[in-house]
Amino acid sequence: MEFVTGVTQRDEWSIAELAGAPEHSRGKIRGAVHNIRDMGEISFLILRRYDGLVQCVCEESNSGVSLRTLKEGATVEAEGVSHREARAPGGTELCLTGLRILSEPVEPMPLPISKWKMHTSLEALLNNRPISLRNLRERAKFRIQETITRSFRDFLYSQNFTEIHTPKIGARGAEGGANIFKLDYFHHPAVLAQSPQFYKQMMVGVFDRVFETGPVFRAEKHNTKRHLNEYTSLDFEMGYIDSFTEIMEMETGFLRYMTEELKKRCEKELKMLEVDLPDVEKIPCVPFTEAKELVRQTYGRPIRSPYDLEPEEEELIGKYFKDACGADFVFVTHYPSKKRPFYAMDDPADPKYTLSFDLLFRGLEVTTGGQRIHDYPTLSRKLKDRGMSEEGMDQYLSAFKHGMPPHGGLGIGLERLTMQLIGEDNVRETTLFPRDMNRLEP
Amino acid sequence: MEFVTGVTQRDEWSIAELAGAPEHSRGKIRGAVHNIRDMGEISFLILRRYDGLVQCVCEESNSGVSLRTLKEGATVEAEGVSHREARAPGGTELCLTGLRILSEPVEPMPLPISKWKMHTSLEALLNNRPISLRNLRERAKFRIQETITRSFRDFLYSQNFTEIHTPKIGARGAEGGANIFKLDYFHHPAVLAQSPQFYKQMMVGVFDRVFETGPVFRAEKHNTKRHLNEYTSLDFEMGYIDSFTEIMEMETGFLRYMTEELKKRCEKELKMLEVDLPDVEKIPCVPFTEAKELVRQTYGRPIRSPYDLEPEEEELIGKYFKDACGADFVFVTHYPSKKRPFYAMDDPADPKYTLSFDLLFRGLEVTTGGQRIHDYPTLSRKLKDRGMSEEGMDQYLSAFKHGMPPHGGLGIGLERLTMQLIGEDNVRETTLFPRDMNRLEP
């Protein structure tokens, strides 16, 4: 009988192992052909791997290895001898003694992916996504994105949150409104989740604090630089709060942890993309109406929409607090009740406003959060006041009828957060395979 | 200007802190009323929290606190003095000196959630999901599930995998066939992802090794104990493999890590649910045809479907290897090419079979995986041989045209893995909010 017992270590170097190997050690390393520089008698073969680039030197007359027919995009196993060389990436190169081809491409690259910057339109990058992502700077964005998600989870684990998986197909949307994708579910009308809102609230009754990192779907009909029709939402919901400030504190705690993790895990990528990590030591808070008024007074911009922030206002609030106290982030609090969903808790001091907030990062909203109504009579009254029916919400409302702690939470748009962190100006740049009104592929 | 600087530690005990506090310390603890036992002059109030149960003792005449009007499901802040008491959960109870009510229910519990076992039908549990999940044994399943997912990620991070997020709405399905949900995407036909297959393969060209933990959607028209129409898939795909055995090795490595993490993080839950952790030291491998023949010979079960395993055959293969070598897991390898998707790599030794496998866990398939074709001409030929068109697959095929390392991967059904681990007999038991042909809510 044959058995599998676990991962077998391969007799192969990583880039760190090559760099750490004694001078003139023999070894192997695998990777994709990034580019080849033929200098006549000597050629340089650069391999691309998950952990970076490796320089292999080939002296054809000595080694018997020829790179003449090797193509960009082929994958190979290179065999050779380690050699310290200050000009090689990582400080060590491999002097080739053998080369085994693992796979070969059939067409030349459609984009100059081995260039530092591709100087290609976003449209072309997206149309050739599986190829353009092979570029070092393109893929670096997604290593940063991975670290954001990972640090979100790890921070919340440390704060006693439980991870949940909630359904994306449902009978009705959590947020209401028209921006909802509909589908046929075995001859029943169904929708795609706009957010895990109802589910994460119900789960607060089970685990006190919960989080989810998953896709959400919004059929918004605007094709802007900051909208996606499918995105990854970093959601949490926490019970037993005394004030909605605790939600902002938890987010600030996450952001501080995130920047530490980025420094630790993404040093190379941050440098490659010239990212300035934001200051997250302290984040200023400003009430919605005050923020609007600040912008009107400081920049002479008239208030046109009294219940919501216009994109330009968000930018100017960002600018104001950057200038005033060097802040990259601003919490705008107490949004008008009119523009927040029914489950938002109104401010007892002035019920025209809610105990809610948005987080702006360099002038763009990246988070919406707030305290929720936890008491059934209040929730029921608010639904009634809004002319909404309780029909179809039985299970959600049942959680409140049977007791729910005071609670609140938030949702962070992962791609937007990544975009603002990196300093891109289009959210598609920080989405592996974006979905917008015109883009359903690849 | 006001600032938020991070998480403020609350002046409040966790259960571990109460247990660790010196005798007769004063403190507070929050939770939901799990139950109240009125013994006359003395009453016991049991609070339910994410970290377990706390016993509070109330002597009404001494403390001035009354529990008479307190309801099950209310949430409270209890204040009191710590007292060692061997019979209390955790060995320490709180002698109440004060009680602050944070929220109150308006209806009595529809299910006896404070009972050890609820003795209710699965139907009733699912119809009252936000309430039934509050039961300690119900929720324990999902702490175990959380640890499975967490250990999948952490193990793969340690093996140099990169986490990705791929779109769930697309123009076409990866697996083909009829079990696909369709939707209207801004007047274009679209589908929900049956798996991240195409995307994770494309991403192997970018990061060498990738994984994703996310929802997948299958419009299968059978309502069985082992099918869900939406489930969480733990997917990985790894490049530069020499053999498809490496994929099974990686999965075995994960399973070994998972059991260690479960022992460490879920001791209480494993005990509560009387879970026997499986043996994952070594997992036997058996080729598909041999496995079928074994079952025929050993159990006298005729082979009716030569290209696939019937559920009963899976059970009997599980039984055979349990009896033969105490194995809880079995890799069944070399499935017939006919029943595997076009991208599966055929076995060069016999192209009627593929370099693929399923993992059976206690007689149920929990994983499907295998090596994929990485070379464009072979892929193109296989599509042609199957009468399939390359149309609409341009981007996927483009990854292969421009070079892809030999690779393979797998997908694990999270809910099924949890079900088999815990010993449930219906996958809905280990799904927070299951979706099946008849269930779209809650």
How high is the pLDDT of residue B175? 66
| 3-class secondary-structure state, position A414 | helix
Q: Do the chains contact at A433 and B74, CB–CB below 8 Å?
A: no
pLDDT digits (tens, 9 = 90+) for B67-91: 889 999 999 999 999 999 999 988 9
Q: Which residues, in sequence order, are bridge partners of residue A346?
A: A354
- The confidence score (pLDDT) of residue B92 equals 96
Q: If pLDDT is split at 50, 70 and 90, which confidence band does A261 have? A: very high
d(CA A232, CA B215): 12
Set of chain B residues whose Cβ sits within 8 Å of the Cβ of A73: 402-403
A187 interfacial to chain B (CB closer than 8 Å)? no
Phi, psi of A260 (to 5 degrees): -65, -45
CA distance A190 to B440: 8
Residue numbers in A near B150 (CB within 8 A):
153, 157, 163
Question: Which of 195-224 (B) contact A at CB < 8 A?
Answer: 199, 202-203, 205-209, 214-215, 217, 219, 221
Relative orientation angle of helices A136-158 and A414-422, to the nearest 10 degrees: 120
Which of A102, A109, A240 minimises the CB distance to B406?
Answer: A102
Residues 6+ apart with CB under 8 A from A269: A140, A141, A143, A144, A275
Check: CB of residue A147 under 8 Å from CB of residue A266. yes
Per-residue pLDDT of chain B (442 residues; tens, 9 = 90+): 899 999 998 889 999 999 999 999 999 999 999 999 998 889 999 999 999 999 999 998 877 888 889 999 999 999 999 999 999 988 999 999 999 999 999 999 999 999 998 999 999 999 999 999 999 999 999 999 999 999 999 999 999 999 999 999 999 876 667 799 999 999 999 999 999 999 999 999 999 999 999 999 999 998 899 999 999 999 999 999 999 999 999 999 999 999 999 999 999 999 999 999 999 999 999 999 999 999 999 999 999 989 999 999 999 999 999 999 999 999 999 999 999 999 999 999 999 999 999 999 999 999 999 999 999 999 999 999 999 998 889 999 999 999 999 999 999 999 999 999 999 999 999 999 999 999 999 9
Q: Which residue has the tokens 């039934």?
A: B132
- Euclidean distance between CA atoms B414 and B235, whole angstroms: 10
Phi, psi for B14 (deg, rounded to 5): -90, 175
Contacts of A442 in chain B (CB under 8 A): 202, 394-396
**Chain B touched by A391 (CB under 8 Å):** no
Whether the Cβ atoms of residue B234 and residue B213 lie closer than 8 Å to each other? yes
| CB within 8 Å of chain B, chain A residues 69-88 | 71-75
Give the one of A8, A75, A240 whose C-beta lies nearest to B405's C-beta.
A75
Packing angle of the helix pair A245-265, A136-158 (nearest 10 deg): 130
Beta-sheet pairing, B162-163 with B209-217: parallel
**CB B142 to CB A160 under 8 A?**
no
Q: What is the DSSP string of A146-163?
A: HHHHHHHHHHHHHTT-EE
What pLDDT score was predicted for residue A392? 84
Angle at B37 between CA B36 and CA B38, to 5 degrees: 110
Q: Find out whether B365 and B317 touch, Cβ atoms under 8 Å.
A: no
Q: Which residues of A touch B281 (CB under 8 A)?
A: 5
**B228 annotated to bind ligand:** yes
SS3 content of chain A, % helix, strand, coil (to 5): 35, 30, 40
User: Is residue A175 scored above 80 in pLDDT?
Assistant: no
For chain A, state the CA radius of gyration: 26
Per cent of chain A over pLDDT 70 is 99
Cβ(A415)–Cβ(A430) under 8 Å? yes
CB contact under 8 A, A4 and B184: no
C-alpha span between A198 and A267 (Å, rounded): 38
Q: What is the mean pLDDT of chain A?
A: 95
Residue B15: partners with Cβ closer than 8 Å, 6 or more residues away = B29, B49, B51, B52, B53, B54, B89, B90
Which ipTM value was assigned to this complex? Answer: 0.97
Q: Evaluate the omega torsion of the peptide bond into residue A405 and state whether it is cis, within 30 degrees of 0.
A: no
Q: Answer yes or no: are the C-beta atoms of A68 and A93 closer than 8 Å.
A: no
Helix (H) or strand (E) holding B381: helix B376-385
- Within 8 A of A133 by CB-CB distance, chain B residues are 203, 205-206
d(CA B383, CA B380): 5
Total CB pairs under 8 A between chain A and B: 349
* Secondary structure class of B301 (helix, strand, coil): coil
Q: What does the pLDDT look like over A143-172, one tens digit per residue?
A: 999 999 999 999 999 999 999 999 999 998
Residue A373's pLDDT is 98
> Residue B100 is which amino acid?
R
Q: Per-residue confidence at A63, pLDDT binned at 50, 70, 90? A: confident
pLDDT of residue A73: 97
With an 8 Å Cβ cutoff, are A184 and B185 in contact? no
- Which residues in chain A (323-382) have CB-CB distances under 8 A to chain B? 324-325, 331, 374-377
pLDDT at B375: 96
Q: Chain B partners of A1 at a C-beta cutoff of 8 Å?
A: 284, 286, 324-325
Nearest CA in chain A to B137: A206
User: Rounded distance, CA B386 to CA B384, Å?
Assistant: 5
Residues in B touching A325 (Cβ below 8 Å): 1
Distance between CA A414 and CA A431 in Å, rounded? Answer: 9
Residue B62 is predicted with a pLDDT of 78
Q: How far is B14 from chain A (nearest CA, A)?
A: 10
CA contacts within 13 A on the Cβ side of B101: 14
CA distance B357 to A204: 39
Nearest to B2 by CA among A251, A335, A284, A325: A284
Q: Give the gap in angstroms from C-alpha A98 to the nearest C-alpha of chain B.
A: 17
B4: helix, strand or coil: strand
* pLDDT of A176 higher than 80: no
Average pLDDT for A166-180: 84
Question: What is the least distance, in Å, from the CA of B113 to any CA of chain A?
Answer: 11
B window 41-60, beta carbon within 8 A of A: 49-51
Among the partner residues A217, A324, A405, nearest to B169 by beta-carbon distance: A217
Q: Two tokens at A317?
A: 């609030």
B136-156 residue pLDDT tens: 999 999 999 999 999 999 999
CA A380 to chain centre: 36
CB A47 within 8 A of CB A56: yes
Nearest to B107 among A217, A395, A401 (CB): A401
Angle B197-207/B394-401 helices, nearest 10 degrees?
Answer: 30
Mean pLDDT over A163-185 rounds to 89
The amino acid at B162: T
| pLDDT of amino acid A412 | 98
Per-residue pLDDT tens for B301-338? 999 989 999 999 999 999 999 999 999 999 999 999 99
pLDDT band at A268; cut points 50, 70, 90: very high
CA distance A110 to chain B (A): 9
Q: What angle is formed at CA A296 by the lines to CA A292 and CA A298, rounded to 5 degrees? A: 110
Q: How far is CA A192 from CA A216, A391, B183, B252, in A?
A: 8, 19, 10, 35
> What pLDDT is stored for residue B64 in this prediction?
80
Tell me if chain B has a CB within 8 Å of the CB of A288: no
Separation between Cα atoms, residue B114 and residue B73, nearest integer Å: 10
List of chain A residues whose C-beta atoms are within 8 Å of the C-beta of residue B221: 186
Q: How confident is the model at residue A137 (pLDDT cuts 50, 70, 90)?
A: very high
- Identify whether the C-beta of residue A296 lies closer than 8 Å to the C-beta of residue A317: no
pLDDT at B173: 74
Query: For residue A422, which phi and psi values (nearest 5 degrees)?
Result: -85, -25
Residues from chain B that touch A33, judged by Cβ atoms under 8 A, are 403
Phi first, then psi, for residue A345 (nearest 5°) are -85, 125
β-partners of residue A329 are: A361
Residue B341's Cβ-side half-sphere holds a number of Cα atoms within 13 Å equal to: 16
Give dist(CA A135, CA A73) in Å, integer.
12
Q: Are the C-beta atoms of residues A335 and A357 closer than 8 Å to each other?
A: yes
Structure tokens belonging to residue B370:
């295998």
Yes or no, beta carbons of A163 and B143 under 8 Å apart: no
Residue B156's nearest CA partner among B246, B253, B278 is: B253
Chain B residues in contact with A215 by the CB 8 A cut-off are: 165, 167-168, 214-215
Annotated binding site of A: 175, 218-220, 226-228, 365, 368, 372, 413-416
Longest dimension (CA), chain B: 86
> Which is it for the CA torsion A14, A15, A17, A23, positive or negative?
positive
Dist CA A414 CA A361 (whole Å): 12
pLDDT tens across A10-34, in order? 889 999 999 999 999 999 999 999 9
pLDDT at A111 over 70: yes
**Encoded tokens for B128:** 């009252």
B1 touches chain A (CB under 8 A): yes
Residue in chain B nearest A143 by alpha carbon: B162
Q: Is the dihedral of CA B229, B111, B141, B416 positive or negative?
A: negative
| Contact yes or no for A199 and B432 at CB 8 A | yes
The band of A62, judged by pLDDT with boundaries at 50, 70 and 90, is: confident
Are the Cβ atoms of B106 and A376 closer than 8 angstroms? yes
CB B241 within 8 A of CB B250: no
**CA separation (Å) from A129 to A74, A172, A387, B170, B400?**
18, 33, 46, 14, 13
The single-letter code of the amino acid at B39 is: M
Torsions phi, psi for B209 (to 5 deg): -135, 130
Look-up of token digits 């007074």: A297
Token pair belonging to A124 = 């072309």
pLDDT digit string, tens, across residues A208-260: 999 999 999 999 998 899 999 999 999 999 999 999 999 999 999 999 999 99
Residue B119 burial (C-beta neighbours within 10 Å; 0-12, 13-18, 19+)? exposed
Q: What is the pTM of this model?
A: 0.97
Task: For residue A210, give the chain B residue with the closest CA.
Answer: B50
Instruction: Label each residue of B233-269 as H, E or C.
Output: EEEEEEECCCCCHHHHHHHHHHHHHHHHHHHHHCHHH
Contact A131, B398 (CB under 8 A): yes
pLDDT of A190 > 90? The answer is: yes
Rg of chain B in Å (alpha carbons): 26
Does B229 touch chain A if contact means CB atoms closer than 8 Å?
Answer: yes
3 state SS for A172-207: CCCCCCCCCCEEEECCEEEEECCCCHHHHHHHHHHH
